[in-house]
Structure formats: structure tokens, C-alpha cells
């Protein structure tokens, strides 16, 4: 065996290395899950903000359209 290790020693080292890698990967996956949750919350908040802006734009357009129509009607009367 390499470096005078027995098969059992090499397997034990390999298992220890794999175990540590698994723990690190598991921690990374958990961190990514938290990041995804945060992003989902931000996107949901953004959707609400876009809806408000869309509705506000509709109200402003309706008001300005009404004023414009009133002015046009007033011009024809006079």
C-alpha cells in the first residue's frame, strides 16, 4: 500500500475525508436554502410593489384622461 498504510487505514482515512466533505456540502446546501428563502421573499415584495405602481399608473392615466376629455368638451362648448 502507499506510504506503508494498510487497506483498513486507507479506508478509514478515506471515510474521514468523505465525512468532512459531506458535512461541508451539507452546510453549503443549508446556506443556499436560506438564500433562496430570502430571494423568494424579496421577489414577492417586488411583485407587490409592481402591482401598486401599475394601479397608481392606471389611476393617474384615468385622471389625466378625464381632465383632457373635460378640456376638449369645454373647448367645443365655447
Q: Are 47 and 39 in contact (CB under 8 A)?
A: no
Instruction: Write the pLDDT tens digit of every residue in 9-62.
Output: 999 999 999 999 999 999 999 999 999 999 999 888 888 888 899 999 999 999
59 or 4: which leads in pLDDT:
59
Q: Are 1 and 10 in contact (CB under 8 A)?
A: yes
Amino acid at each position: 500500500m502507499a506510504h506503508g498504510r494498510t487497506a483498513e487505514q486507507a479506508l478509514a482515512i478515506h471515510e474521514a475525508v468523505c465525512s468532512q466533505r459531506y458535512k461541508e456540502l451539507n452546510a453549503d446546501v443549508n446556506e443556499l436554502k436560506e438564500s433562496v428563502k430570502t430571494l423568494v421573499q424579496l421577489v414577492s415584495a417586488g411583485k407587490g410593489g409592481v402591482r401598486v405602481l401599475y394601479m397608481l399608473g392606471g389611476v393617474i392615466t384615468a385622471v389625466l384622461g378625464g381632465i383632457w376629455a373635460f378640456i376638449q368638451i369645454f373647448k367645443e362648448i365655447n
